A = this chain, B = another copy of it.
Amino acid sequence: MGHGGGGKLMSDLITHLFAQDLKNDLLDQMGDSTILPSDLAAGRLAFSTDSYVINPLFFPGGDIGELAVNGTVNDLAMSGAKPLFLSCGFILEEGLEMKTLGLIVKSMAQACRIAKVLMVAGDTKVVNKGHGDGVYINTAGIGIINNEIDIRPQNAKPGDAILISGSMGDHGIAVMSVREGLSFESTIESDTCPLFDLVESMLVITKEIHCLRDITRGGLSAVLNELAKASQVGFEFEETKVPVRSGVQAACEMLGLDPLYIANEGKLVAIVPEQWSDPILTEMRKNPAGTDAVRIGRVVADHPGIVLAKTRIGGSRVVDIPAGELLPRIC
């Protein structure tokens, strides 16, 4: 508990652990708030936040620290914003091993380097043993949006193509498998990764991307429903076109889960004018985060707010937003 009290122990924690791994001139200001450089004015700012309560803290393909950086970076990228600065709030459980915290902080630092963002402000609180599950992390992020870009959930238009950047369900099944002690033939790894490079390459083809959304909690079904409702258009896609890795598919069949409802942490859906669909896909597939990118369907004027899937056997079904919780605590 001493490390959360504002005293010398906390000051040591900040200096020796956080400030070393995450070192940069802005974080070094050590003020109550961090003053950002003034040469940001070439666009509008985007601002986003997410808390991470994933259990367990480490899972195949990632950990809570990497997730906390990539998640917020990706939320910014989904506005077309170049992510620049992150803040970070740790809620530590009394008794958390310093070694564990050290690994998480190193992982965050590494993720920041890969995503080309700076961690510029932070806070640490400690809660009593038995609460907090080791560590919860909140990150907030600031990015900058080129003035020609207007990507919003309300922008999908009939005729647009629906693209996704890769396979569905990897993150959720990776976390679930360790949590439930399931083992499959091959380890399923989380897909956690930053998506701005991918978005930036898509924007080189055209600024006219209508909607972007990273496919996290609630999976593809939640995201498509949100976009269809926000834009008041209908969505139709072919279920067979949605890539699902064989291990994920097998796990889903065993557990009675639908990959369309499982979270990812490094995948996006893009709604783009049909004429840009092929060139954007070609570009996406050149990026490591988009090698399996595919066009899964189209936006229609019929049945606004409703998402229809063409099934494997040729029928068509309404893909609803999931009511509650499929896999709790997966981010």
Stretch touching chain B among A42-50, A102-110, A282-290: A42-50
A36 near B46 with CB under 8 A, answer yes
A89 near B8 with CB under 8 A, answer no
What CA separation (Å) do A130 and B132 show in the bound complex?
9
- Which residues of A (302-331) have their CB < 8 Å from a CB of B? 321-329, 331
B40 near A36 with CB under 8 A, answer no
Stretch touching chain B among A78-86, A183-191, A248-256: A78-86
Q: Which of chain B's residues have a CB closer than 8 A to the CB of A7? A: 217-218, 222, 321-326
- Which residues of A (129-162) have their CB < 8 Å from a CB of B? 130-133, 136, 138, 140-143, 145, 147, 152-153
A213 at the interface (CB under 8 A from B): yes
Q: Residue among A32, A49, A216, A329 with the most chain B CB within 10 A?
A: A32
A125 at the interface (CB under 8 A from B): yes
Q: Which of chain B's residues have a CB closer than 8 A to the CB of A127? A: 53, 133, 136, 329
A46 near B33 with CB under 8 A, answer yes
A242 at the interface (CB under 8 A from B): no
A2 near B217 with CB under 8 A, answer no
A37 at the interface (CB under 8 A from B): yes
**CB contact between A133 and one of B41, B131, B143 (< 8 Å): that residue:** B131
B89 near A91 with CB under 8 A, answer no
What CA separation (Å) do A328 and B3 show in the bound complex?
10
B51 near A138 with CB under 8 A, answer yes
B35 near A89 with CB under 8 A, answer no
- Which residues of A (13-44) have their CB < 8 Å from a CB of B? 29-38, 40-41, 43-44
Q: Which of chain B's residues have a CB closer than 8 A to the CB of A30? A: 153, 230
Chain B: minimal CB distance from A259 (Å): 15
What CA separation (Å) do A123 and B53 show in the bound complex?
12
A120 at the interface (CB under 8 A from B): yes
Q: Which of chain B's residues have a CB closer than 8 A to the CB of A327? A: 5
Chain B: minimal CB distance from A269 (Å): 11
